[in-house]
A and B are shown apart, each in its own frame.
Chain A
Amino acid sequence: MTYSLNFAAVWRSFDLLLEGLALSLGLAFAAILAGCVIGLIAAFGLVSKTVALRKPAGLYVTIIRNTPILVLVLFSYFALPELGVRLGKIESFVLTLAIYSGAYLAEVFRGGLIAVPPGQREAGLAIGLTEMQIRTSIIIPLMLRNVLPSLGSTMISLFKDTSLAAAIAVPELTFEARKINVETFRVIETWIVASCLYVATCSLLAALMRVVERRLAVPR
């Protein structure tokens, strides 16, 4: 068996791959922002003393975490229109990814919230802050510092999950790679280049998170 690698065809379409990568990053970024908001609300639900808040939050986390993301992606793109919710490909994908990551982030944030010592809340009360002020200016900043490592790994796996957008023909990196495959038949070369782009971006994100963690670390 002889096969000679020839990257020329892939390099010619390299800008397509880069555009795809940019869209992947954009999807992941939009989804993590929305996912953080959803996850934060759900996390406060999970640690709430009120059953009426705790149960729905728990149900959301359990259902989403135990359903394959591809099913969710297809459901929101193909089945939601039947309920009268009509979204474009990108909007429906970002929404799905946000809801999916929200469930994982809820667990992450819950752990972080529990780790904030109760004395912090009491100190806030003592200086006359309202419950809402205590949350926004004391508990959430402390919690974010606690959860930074898990937040980083959730972000990286979210970035990898953007590849599923190819299933509903969103032109992100995986979709572009398949397109180049079909056009040039340079299958091995294309997948090597696409995987390397993914790996490089993930390593970059991981390095970035390490820098942020160091900058925000509590000085000892």
Chain B
Amino acid sequence: MDFAFLDQLWLARLPLIKGLGVSISISFLSIAVGTVLGIFVGLALTYGYKPMQWLVRGYTDFIRGTPVLVLVLASYYVLSTVGVELGPFQAGILALAVFCSSHVGELVRGALQSIPKGQTEAAKAIGLTFSQTFAYVLGPQALRQALPAWVNTAAEMVKASTLLSIIGVGELLLRTQELISRTFMSLEFYFFAGFLYFVINYSIERFGRYVERKTAVPS
């Protein structure tokens, strides 16, 4: 790398910072919406009535069997065809949130099912209602179970946010590609973008390990 790259990098600092900001907002929004949706999906998968369980099972299996890129493209092009006017940003967030919800749903289901039945029975024995059982007994234990995997999912979402560049959302990767088409420094700028993503995801990974240690049941 020579100084020409550093010059270009300095010139392009504003679009790059903006792009990074957009990437972070995409990740944050899709994780937030996806998690809330996913908790409902997980609850429905575990405690829902049979027909409801089948419906939600179909939803998660369909979403998990479809590539994220297909979800993103479909959400962007299909919604505009049926007259729902969403910009690429909103359509992209919708697709990523749906993707996230299916993964969080399975996480929540796995966590809830891993709690021994005796816990629910004990709660019943001391006269707790279902919502009390969930709030004081099942929820906190499931949270501890699901948290490390949820942090992993968050890192996945940051990586998936790059897919929105394909429908023209001005996030970090798209800004990088625009820069490359102007400067022809593909090696340096892809490297730089990759490095930024690495730093973000590595921090999330380390944070995940920290959470895992902190929430582990002392033995």
Contact = CB atoms under 8 A, between A and B. Distances in A.
Interface in B43-69: 61-62, 64-69
B156 to A, nearest CB: 10
A65 B205 CA distance: 10
Given A66-B197, A71-B197, A188-B78, A174 B70 contact: yes
A164 B166 CA distance: 10
Given A82-B186, A163-B69, A191-B74, A75 B191 contact: yes
B9 interface: no
Interface residues of B, number: 39
Nearest to B159: A68
- Number of chain A interface residues as a range: 35 or more
Nearest to A3: B82
Contact of A195 (B62, B77, B190): B62
B210 interface: no
Chain B interface, DSSP helix/strand/loop, else mixed: helix
B137 to A, nearest CB: 30
A78 B180 contact: yes
B190 A75 contact: yes
B163 interface: yes
B194 A75 contact: yes
B193 interface: yes
Contact of B67 (A65, A163, A203): A163
Given A74-B190, A194-B70, 15 more contacts: A1-B83, A62-B205, A63-B198, A66-B198, A66-B205, A67-B197, A67-B201, A68-B159, A71-B173, A79-B186, A163-B69, A164-B67, A166-B166, A174-B67, A202-B65
Interface of A: 1, 3, 62-63, 65-72, 74-75, 78-79, 82-83, 160-164, 166-167, 174, 177-178, 181, 187-188, 191, 194-195, 198-200, 202-203
22 contacts: A62-B202, A66-B198, A66-B201, A68-B158, A68-B161, A71-B162, A71-B197, A74-B177, A78-B180, A79-B186, A160-B68, A163-B69, A164-B67, A177-B70, A187-B77, A187-B78, A195-B62, A195-B66, A195-B70, A198-B67, A199-B65, A203-B61
Interface of B: 61-62, 64-70, 73-74, 77-78, 81-83, 155, 158-163, 165-166, 173, 177, 180, 186-187, 190-191, 193-194, 197-198, 201-202, 205
